[in-house]
Amino acid sequence: MTATKHDRNAWFKGGIANCQVTLAPGARTYRMVLLGAPGVGKGTQAELISERLGPCQLSTGDVFRAAKTLDPSERTPALSAALDYMKRGELVPDETVIGIVRERPNCLRCPGGFLLDGFPRTVHQAEALESILGVLSMKLDAVLSYDLPIDQIVSRLSGRRTCGACKAVYHVTTKPPKVADVCDLCGGKLILREDDRPEAIRVRMEAYEKSTSPLADYYRQRGLLVSIAAEGSPEDIYKRTAAALAARP
């Protein structure tokens, strides 16, 4: 394993907080972005890559969730602005998200490297990231794009069942409960959420493709996009990822 410790306190708090990561002698530092539609297993791959290759997983979603628990005095200006948008039920605009990343230069300088998840989401954000890294005399090594046919994504997501009581999540084929439609943990009834119905999933996938296609093209034109088939077990997918990274100069 490349990194001995993944302390993401600096990512959650921003400001002058520092990451506590050391790099093994001779290990390669990776600075990457993750792309992939819901259901492709991107989160699992992020964990495997972080554990085995060293880069810290930096998810903007994690920042937003952690911000809600921080004392207001610990929130950076961009983070406070983002929470205000979220409280009103509005999307956090590009400039605010960019500001949150810009407030965290020590995370981007991490000697273990980084794995950005959830940012950038637009070409404008990608251009801003390139500018931020340029100021730090850094550049991306790769943009990992996990791809899976939409029918397989629908199959994966529509098989999810959620406990109506404790919210535990199961899957009819990959993680079934001991008793059909009954939660192992609390005995509550398992339900199919509206978001997990096939028709709802297809709508989300179409929206994802429409919004992400320009971003993928942006990175493809720069020779950074690495497309990886997200079929098979998590270990199979990780092996493809590692091989693709090893093949890059």
Q: How far apart are CA 203 and CA 211, in angstroms?
A: 13
Which of 28, 52, 109, 121 does the annotation list as catalytic?
121
Which of 31, 156, 160, 161 does the annotation list as catalytic?
160
- CB-count exposure of residue 183 (10 Å: 0-12, 13-18, 19+): buried
* 204 is known as an active-site residue: yes
Q: ∠ CA 244-141-147 to the nearest 5 degrees?
A: 45
Which of 28, 109, 202, 204 does the annotation list as catalytic?
204
* 193 is known as an active-site residue: yes
* 220 is known as an active-site residue: no
Which of 13, 31, 42, 102 does the annotation list as catalytic?
42
* 109 is known as an active-site residue: no
* 42 is known as an active-site residue: yes
Which of 65, 193, 239, 248 does the annotation list as catalytic?
193
Q: Are 39 and 136 a contacting pair, CB within 8 Å?
A: no
**What amino acid positions are annotated as catalytic residues?**
42, 121, 160, 193, 204
